Amino acid sequence: MVLPNLRLNFGRIFCIPLAVTVVLSSAVPFPSSAAATAAFSRHRRLVASASPMNPSSQSQSPPPPVAKKVEHAMEMFGDVRIDNYYWLRDDSRTDPEVLSYLRQENAYTDSIMSGTKEFEDKLFAEIRGRIKEEDVSAPLRKGPYYYYKRTLEGKEYVQYCRRLISDNQKVPSVHDIMPTGPEAPPEHVILDVNVKAQHHLYYSIGAFKVSPNNKLVAYAEDTKGDEIYTIYVIDVETQATIGEPLVGVTSYLEWAGDNAFVYITMDEILRPDKAWFHVLGTEQSKDTCLYVEKDDMFSLDLQASESKKYLFVASESKNTRFNFYLDVSKPEEGLKVLTPRVDGIDTTVSHRGDHFFIKRRSDQFFNSEVVACAVNNTSSTTVLIPHRESVKIQEIQLFSDHLVAYERENGLPKIIVYHLPPIGEPLRSLESGQAVSFVDPVYSAESSDSEFSSSILRFSYSSLRTPSSVYDYDMKAGISVLKKIDSVLGGFDATRYVTERQWAPSSDGTLIPISIVYRKDLVKLDGSDPLLLYGYGSYEICIDPSFKSARLSLLDRGFIYAIAHIRGGGEMGRQWYENGKLLKKKNTFTDFIACAEYLIEKKFCSKEKLCIEGRSAGGLLIGAVLNMRPDLFKAAVAGVPFVDVVTTMLDPTIPLTTSEWEEWGDPRKEEFYFYMKSYSPVDNVRNLWLCLMPCILSLAIIYFSPSIIFIFFCMK
């Protein structure tokens, strides 16, 4: 899957004449949010520093390295494509000629960028200075403990901590505050990731799961950055390791009682394909295989019900998802089918009392409905929340007395709370729920861990001007209480910034939402302001407006920041996604162009002040619109860009290629081949493009990636 920002991999930067710039991946992600934010900002500053370049300084720079051309022909349906830089692909990373060329590019980078170091250091210090390093997350009450994470000044990783609740019999309240004074129970550090990471160049915790009895923790660690994990189990109090570690696994794991858990492993192309049952104290080789997914279009997922009485193993493709359940009290019975495999039907499941709850999407009910079935009769369902054409149900969360639906309407997330009848009573269609209210006109609101037996819903909230916040919502009283808001040092004042929503008409008349933020005392809104327009538009992923402290370095210099919520994403419902994929993918690009033209028309910016950005599949967007409208943009940031669509989708050696066909199409079929080729950036570069496009930044691509070939093609 080509995700927008799973990991920040930043590496060396080298320049090509006319300020065309590419990055070589170091494959060493930054471990903490503080470092990642600073690194992200470090690269954002290059947009300002790299364009336009001073002609006189260019004349004094050494000539750039020139990669040789070696013709590589690829033929399909009688159509021949030539890739002169295919030789740069070296899976072994040992080819002397390739490595020599990369060293030349790095040396050229050091030379061409030497004049920006002072500005880089200034911005880095500025961005780092906004981050509060000594901090504690909002404690979450689980059983007799508060659980939370702590960050320490000068340390890159977190500590996982807990503190005993002195009065565990007290009914939880949204007003509860974890005591920290001298009379409070002492803090206990369960796992200090700084200690674990000190002997590794790379370290990441992919899962951290406390056992139901709160005595053990199972965690998954990755020490290479390849997302192949090792699972350890430790005693919470003593940190002693329990049993032998499980190697070569994914980060998917869930406890099945207090002495066993389920985990998932991958095949040779890193597709999660097998679910296993492990009993503590036994060897990994003795584990029971619960299920094997043989269809390479499908991958496995694993979830625990909020009630913790069932585990759910799901198998999913881009368009279909079906589920099995495991009764934690009867693991010897193995997995049982809950929702069978039916092409085009997508189900997500959970449990409460005598019922399974199912969020179900189909071609008919494309925005999903919520149904329930008895545990002992899964074939008969009752509709709880019906399908609505204007409202998409994204997720449901269950509590002992409530059901929470995370919905989308008019491009914005909503949280709706429904009261459920007592467990044991019949379920029927739910009456109108109670909506949680929000202040900002555009925002992000997401689910968070909560306690099933509680009436307190925890959720996270953010907007383009509101730092990430954690709220507890009393589902009985209907009140929200702020539990934590991320600190932004350096005198940040949210009232200086304005957020708004605009709607741009696309080429077919569809209105495209745009989220906008700017500092009201610095912009003129007369067309003279610089603007950075961000887009993604793939996989039904919603790019909701959220806060990033690094962005202040743009806003406080008079930039306007905007997000184009284009088709291919999920912001406006399932049909929004369907109309921006496969043979309708070009809607993604024309929507983005329409948003750019609208912002110019409404005098948020001009062509000479319009910068654009996209990452991964969003990098494909950037490459496509640059080919389509090179006259429209002043600068472009293409992060880990996916720009050689046809070649990539024809290469079965690339992990998960076949599963991507439901998103982009199968180029082995003639209709898809020529449609994909018609927008694939490397196949549509024109000579005129280079003359009109002064700057490209491509972040963190592997050195033999087609993204570099895209840049080279632009130089022809």
Those residues whose C-beta lies under 8 Å from the C-beta of residue 389, and which sit 6 or more positions away, are: 367
For the segment 288-320, what is each residue's pLDDT rounded down to a tens digit? Answer: 999 999 999 999 999 999 999 999 999 999 999
Q: Is the pLDDT of residue 56 over 60?
A: no
Mean pLDDT confidence for 458-482: 98
Instruction: Give CA–CA dist 442/536, Å, rounded.
Output: 17
Contact 341, 326 (CB under 8 A): no
Instruction: Give CA–CA dist 602/610, Å, rounded.
Output: 13
122: left (phi over 0), alpha (psi -120 to 50) or beta: alpha
Angle 394-398-404 from CA coordinates, rounded to 5°: 50
Helix and strand counts by DSSP (H, E) for the chain? 14, 39
Angle 136-139-143 from CA coordinates, rounded to 5°: 150
What's the N-to-C CA distance of the chain in angstroms? 31
- What is the three-class DSSP state of 318? coil
Instruction: Give CA–CA dist 219/229, Å, rounded.
Output: 9
- Pick 46 or 331 by higher pLDDT: 331
For the segment 66-92, what is each residue's pLDDT rounded down to a tens digit? Answer: 999 999 999 999 999 999 999 998 888
Q: Is the pLDDT of residue 704 over 90?
A: no
Write down the mean pLDDT value for the chain: 89
Tokens of 72: 């590589």
Instruction: Give CA–CA dist 668/77, Å, rounded.
Output: 9
Q: Is the pLDDT of residue 35 over 80?
A: no
Count of beta carbons in the 10 Å neighbourhood of residue 121: 11
22: left (phi over 0), alpha (psi -120 to 50) or beta: beta
Instruction: Give CA–CA dist 549/116, Å, rounded.
Output: 22
- β-pairing, 497-505 vs 511-519, is antiparallel
Residue 628 included in any domain: yes
Residue 360 included in any domain: no
Q: Cα–Cα distances in Å, from 406 out to 101, 365, 368, 415, 480?
A: 50, 17, 12, 5, 16
Contact 640, 619 (CB under 8 A): yes
Scanning the structure block, which residue is given the tokens 């949010």?
33
Residue 316 included in any domain: no
Instruction: Give CA–CA dist 221/204, Å, rounded.
Output: 6
- Pick 340 or 21 by higher pLDDT: 340
User: Can you spell out the DSSP letters for 96-109?
Assistant: HHHHHHHHHHHHHH
Q: What is the pLDDT of residue 326?
A: 99
pLDDT band for position 93 (cuts 50, 70, 90): confident
Tokens of 639: 């992060």
For the segment 412-448, what is each residue's pLDDT rounded down to a tens digit? Answer: 999 999 999 999 999 999 988 999 999 999 999 999 9
Share of the chain above pLDDT 70, in %: 87
Scanning the structure block, which residue is given the tokens 């996209």?
614
Angle 298-304-310 from CA coordinates, rounded to 5°: 105
Q: Is the pLDDT of residue 488 over 80?
A: yes
pLDDT band for position 395 (cuts 50, 70, 90): very high
- 32 burial (CB, 10 Å; 0-12 / 13-18 / 19+) is middle
Instruction: Give CA–CA dist 314/444, Å, rounded.
Output: 27
Q: Among candidates 329, 335, 241, which has minimal Cα distance to 288? A: 335
Instruction: Give CA–CA dist 685/692, Å, rounded.
Output: 12
Share of the chain above pLDDT 90, in %: 82
Q: Cα–Cα distances in Å, from 405 out to 2, 420, 424, 698?
A: 27, 13, 21, 38
Q: What is the pLDDT of residue 689?
A: 44
For the segment 103-119, what is each residue's pLDDT rounded down to a tens digit? Answer: 998 999 889 889 999 99
Instruction: Give CA–CA dist 550/41, Å, rounded.
Output: 5
- What is the three-class DSSP state of 708? helix
Q: Would you call the peptide bond into 52 cis, given omega within 30 degrees of 0 as the criterion?
A: yes
Mean pLDDT confidence for 572-597: 99
- Residues facing residue 249 across a β-bridge: 229, 265
Q: What is the pLDDT of residue 700?
A: 42
Q: What is the pLDDT of residue 220?
A: 99
Q: What is the pLDDT of residue 1?
A: 52
Q: What is the pLDDT of residue 714?
A: 41
Contact 429, 386 (CB under 8 A): yes
Q: Cα–Cα distances in Å, from 217 out to 157, 195, 348, 448?
A: 18, 17, 26, 20
- 125 burial (CB, 10 Å; 0-12 / 13-18 / 19+) is exposed
Q: What is the pLDDT of residue 109?
A: 85
For the segment 1-30, what is each residue's pLDDT rounded down to a tens digit? Answer: 544 333 222 222 222 222 333 333 322 222
pLDDT band for position 230 (cuts 50, 70, 90): very high
Residue 178 included in any domain: no
Q: What is the pLDDT of residue 687?
A: 63
Q: Is the pLDDT of residue 228 over 60?
A: yes
Angle 324-328-332 from CA coordinates, rounded to 5°: 80
Count of beta carbons in the 10 Å neighbourhood of residue 669: 12
- β-pairing, 696-701 vs 20-24, is parallel
Q: What is the pLDDT of residue 698?
A: 47
Q: What is the dihedral of CA 128, 130, 136, 137, to 10 degrees?
A: -100
- List of E strands, 319-468: 321-327, 336-339, 346-352, 355-361, 369-374, 377-385, 391-398, 402-409, 412-419, 434-435, 444-447, 456-462
Mean pLDDT confidence for 621-639: 95
pLDDT band for position 552 (cuts 50, 70, 90): very high
Q: What is the pLDDT of residue 656?
A: 74
Domain of residue 116, residue span: 12-129+491-714
Q: Is the pLDDT of residue 712 over 60?
A: no
pLDDT band for position 236 (cuts 50, 70, 90): very high
What domain count does the chain have? 1
Instruction: Give CA–CA dist 310/221, Å, rounded.
Output: 25
pLDDT band for position 60 (cuts 50, 70, 90): low
Count of beta carbons in the 10 Å neighbourhood of residue 134: 11
pTM for this model (two decimals): 0.88
Count of beta carbons in the 10 Å neighbourhood of residue 651: 11
Q: Among candidates 519, 503, 508, 512, which has minimal Cα distance to 537? A: 512
Instruction: Give CA–CA dist 382/46, Å, rounded.
Output: 55
Q: Is the pLDDT of residue 478 over 70?
A: yes
Mean pLDDT confidence for 484-495: 97
In this structure, what CATH number is given to the domain that contains residue 661? 3.40.50.1820
Q: Among candidates 578, 537, 536, which has minimal Cα distance to 361? A: 578
Mean pLDDT confidence for 696-707: 46
Contact 133, 151 (CB under 8 A): yes
Q: Is the pLDDT of residue 252 over 90?
A: yes
H helix or E strand, kind and range, residue 664? helix 661-664
Residue 47 included in any domain: yes
Residue 353 included in any domain: no
Q: Is the pLDDT of residue 37 over 70?
A: no
Contact 472, 545 (CB under 8 A): no
Contact 706, 30 (CB under 8 A): no
How many Cα atoms within 13 Å fall on the side-chain side of residue 621? 34
Residue 596 included in any domain: yes
Contact 273, 289 (CB under 8 A): no
Q: Is the pLDDT of residue 40 over 90?
A: no
How many Cα atoms within 13 Å fall on the side-chain side of residue 675? 16
- Rg (C-alpha) for the chain, rounded Å, is 26
User: Can you spell out the DSSP letters for 618-644?
Assistant: HHHHHHHHHHH-TTS-SEEEEES----
Instruction: Give CA–CA dist 530/630, Å, rounded.
Output: 18
Mean pLDDT confidence for 494-512: 98
Q: Among candidates 580, 592, 540, which has minimal Cα distance to 665? A: 580
Tokens of 688: 């005129």
Q: Is the pLDDT of residue 709 over 50?
A: no
Residue 53 included in any domain: yes
- What is the three-class DSSP state of 680? coil
